[in-house]
């Protein structure tokens, strides 16, 4: 196999918002797959808020990316060479790889996709890690009951949009929190949430209180910061808080103090931190459940696409300041399935 | 029924630590029990940290005590007049009443005690609300597994001492946190905890780290403040935090900020606020389970007794600054069971 592989390696640890110069593009000859491996060319690269955590030099649930290492990330790719049974060139797969034009992977770590199924990009969004995160959080922690009030922050994002739509399906009153009127409109009109509060409102707390006249039974936490502070006083007795993300603070090397835990006793609140990889069985479960909903158009999602691997750092910076609208993707190479631009349902 | 009833009513809302003059002793003629009621004379009055919350003029899980109202509290008393079937003078009962020498109660709200059973005071401590709180927290949230490390704050108190002993019975490594060498010695020597850290240590965090070489799997939170801050960085993946009390801040009208919730995601922590009254069925369950342990001396407890109803405010102030050692009790009247002083096992 001849040709070159381009990859973005970490050049220095970002201070605050990640920048292009924090990474460096390196070129190396394409590797040969060994027994059990496949070589893929990257089509779609997923950009997710958790990536900021990998750029700090501190232990978390995953090891940090080291200086000189390729930045990690999930991607959809096309097999171009295979030394693994059951994988042939032309197969399309999704897996956890890196910010690179080509990936050498252990085939057991990959999931083969139906090329005639939903848009390939959805396996990084609504049908992928963000969708499973929302599903898992709702099933394992939220346990929404009919008539309850559910608040979802980052409501137009790939996790929040699924979390809220699942809550609607469960018969809840669903209130989103999103940044700006355009996102709020989409959350209400397309996703069908009952209300959406713009977190840039003059008085976020009053706006949220007005949108939740019966208090809040479930909070799907994606952002932290001022939204979290506004939600907590409105929690009802026996409320559940799914602590999934705190994007508002990810660029901050020293996260601010949080809530005094007195409310947890007063309201007997359950809070649970979640990580999608803890329940790998949920991935197949969710794909089986949600694929028909994506096909029939009843589960809505939105994508923001930036072309070119070299723009991945900018895409990450965008996600961290809420500059994306829906799932953030980098198109690294042509999508065999698509005729034209990005897909939006 | 002739005679007088003395009661401590709230005169003004305490600022910071409660004081004697925040309350006023009032005398009224003894009431006659009406159909379904019994009149009791108070023997033991329970003093508990939660009482501080009732003295603020703000909503919580229970209504605040109003100015001019008798302060609420659990007590053990002897029936001196009854208009309720099944209750006769001489019966000993426990129930939620007030800071008063005599109480008129709905008999359905009372539990009759075996006068030949465990010491009557234990029904306010190890066998009562604090014991049930510990049991419920451990059963419903802690779910301690053999070999795990459990940290219990306020370890010599009536909740913490039971929580830790239950964790020992479950085969855990149990580390207490208590104030001062005398309490720590008792926690280790009598309660049998594996270690006890004095929260007045120069370097609490280092002392706790040394006592928990394998991290912390379960934290039974009774105090908040510096102890909480020291525990959080040591929590293991999938740790459980039972949020039961935050005594360190109860005198503070404006509680301080708490922990940033990032650790919950990194470690997938479960935090649950608990209130003993949410699971009333646990009371009978716990009495059945623990009474033999109290009788055979295998479940240890300790009591601090102050004589005289008029000293209840001081007793509360003492509890809030950790000046008690074990369960804080006010002896309001003679105990028909006891020959002499307080019982300690």
Query: Residue A86: left (phi > 0), alpha (psi -120 to 50), or beta?
Result: left
The CA-to-CA distance between both ends of chain A, in Å, stands at 38
Cβ separation of B249 and A256 shorter than 8 Å?
Answer: no
Both structure tokens of A77:
């790719």
- pLDDT tens digits for range B190-240: 999 999 999 998 899 999 999 999 999 999 999 999 999 999 999 999 999
Nearest-CB residue to A270 (from B61, B224, B272) = B272
Q: What is the DSSP string of B3-37?
A: SEEEEEEE-SPPSSS--GGGEEEEEEEPPPP-TTE
pLDDT at B315 exceeding the cut of 80: yes
Question: In chain B, what percentage of residues exceed pLDDT 70?
Answer: 98
The residue among A202, A88, A158, A146 whose CA lies nearest residue A299 is: A158
Cβ separation of A262 and B255 shorter than 8 Å?
Answer: yes
Domains, in order of start, for chain A: 4-125+301-331 (3.90.180.10), 130-277 (3.40.50.720)
Report in angstroms the alpha-carbon separations of A327 from A105, A299, B297: 24, 14, 62
- pLDDT tens digits for range A110-133: 999 998 999 999 999 999 999 999
Q: How far apart are CA A117 and CA A297, in angstroms?
A: 13
User: Residue B338: which pLDDT band, with cuts at 50, 70 and 90?
Assistant: confident
Helix (H) or strand (E) segment spanning residue B100: none
With a threshold of 0.90, does the pTM exceed it?
Answer: yes
User: Residue B1: which pLDDT band, with cuts at 50, 70 and 90?
Assistant: low
Q: Within 10 A of A140 (CB to CB), how many other CB atoms are there?
A: 14
Dihedral pair phi/psi, residue B173, rounded to 5°: -80, 125
Q: Which residue of chain A is at minimal alpha-carbon distance from B225?
A: A260
The set of residues, in sequence order, having a beta carbon less than 8 Å from that of B273 and lying 6+ positions away, is A261, A263, A264, A265, A266, A267, A268, A269, A270, B243, B244
Q: Are strands B149-153 and A149-153 parallel, antiparallel or unpaired?
A: unpaired
The residue among B188, B46, B184, B41 whose CA lies nearest residue B125 is: B46
The residue among A312, A322, A327, A305 whose CA lies nearest residue A249 is: A322
Residues of B with CB under 8 A from a CB of A: 60-61, 221, 224, 228, 237, 243-246, 249, 255-275, 278
Is the separation of the CB atoms in A265 and B272 below 8 Å?
no
Is the separation of the CB atoms in A329 and A342 below 8 Å?
yes
ipTM surpasses 0.90: yes
What average pLDDT does the segment B271-300 reach?
A: 97
What average pLDDT does the segment B54-72 reach?
A: 92
Cβ separation of B266 and A60 shorter than 8 Å?
Answer: yes
pLDDT beneath 50, residues of chain A = 340-345
Helix (H, G, I), strand (E, B) or coil at B320: helix
Cβ separation of B272 and A264 shorter than 8 Å?
Answer: yes
Q: What per-residue confidence (pLDDT) applies to A103?
A: 98
Q: How far apart are CA A306 and CA A46, in angstroms?
A: 11
Both structure tokens of A57:
């030099």
Cα B195 to chain centroid, rounded = 22
Shortest alpha-carbon distance between residue A243 and chain B (Å): 6
pLDDT at B17 exceeding the cut of 70: yes
Q: How far apart are CA A143 and CA A148, in angstroms?
A: 10
Q: How far apart are CA A18 and CA B55, in angstroms?
A: 50
Dihedral pair phi/psi, residue B238, rounded to 5°: 65, 25
User: Chain B contacts of A268, Cβ < 8 Å?
Assistant: 61, 272-275, 278
Q: How far apart are CA A327 and CA A318, in angstroms?
A: 11
């Amino acid at each position: 196999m001849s040709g070159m592989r381009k990859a973005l390696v970490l050049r220095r640890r970002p201070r605050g918002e990640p920048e292009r110069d924090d990474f460096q593009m390196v070129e190396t000859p394409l590797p040969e797959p060994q027994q059990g491996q496949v070589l893929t060319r990257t089509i779609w690269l997923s950009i997710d808020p958790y990536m900021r955590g990998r750029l700090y030099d501190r232990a978390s649930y995953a090891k940090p990316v080291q200086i000189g290492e390729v930045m990690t990330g999930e991607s959809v790719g096309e097999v171009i060479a295979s030394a693994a049974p059951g994988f042939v060139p032309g197969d399309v797969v999704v897996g956890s790889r890196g910010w690179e034009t080509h990936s050498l992977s252990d085939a057991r770590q990959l999931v083969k996709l139906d090329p005639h199924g939903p848009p390939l990009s959805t396996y990084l969004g609504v049908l992928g890690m963000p969708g499973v995160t929302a599903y898992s959080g709702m099933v394992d922690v939220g346990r929404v009951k009919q008539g309850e009030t559910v608040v979802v922050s980052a409501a137009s994002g790939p996790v929040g949009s699924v979390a809220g739509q699942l809550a609607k399906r469960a018969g809840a009153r669903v209130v989103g929190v999103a940044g700006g009127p355009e996102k709020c409109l989409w959350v209400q009109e397309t996703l069908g949430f009952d209300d959406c509060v713009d977190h840039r409102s003059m008085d976020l707390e009053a706006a949220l209180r007005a949108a939740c006249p019966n208090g809040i039974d479930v909070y799907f936490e994606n952002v932290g910061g001022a939204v979290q502070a506004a939600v907590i006083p409105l929690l009802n007795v026996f409320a559940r808080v799914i602590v999934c993300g705190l994007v508002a603070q990810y660029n901050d090397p020293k996260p601010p103090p949080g809530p005094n835990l007195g409310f947890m006793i007063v309201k007997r609140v359950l809070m649970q931190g979640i990580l999608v990889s803890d329940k790998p069985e949920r991935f197949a479960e969710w794909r089986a459940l949600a694929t028909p909903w994506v096909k029939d158009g009843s589960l809505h999602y939105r994508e923001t696409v930036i072309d070119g691997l070299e723009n991945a750092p900018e895409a990450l910076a965008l996600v961290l300041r809420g500059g994306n609208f829906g799932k953030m993707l980098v198109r690294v190479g042509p999508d065999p399935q698509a005729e034209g631009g990005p897909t939006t349902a």
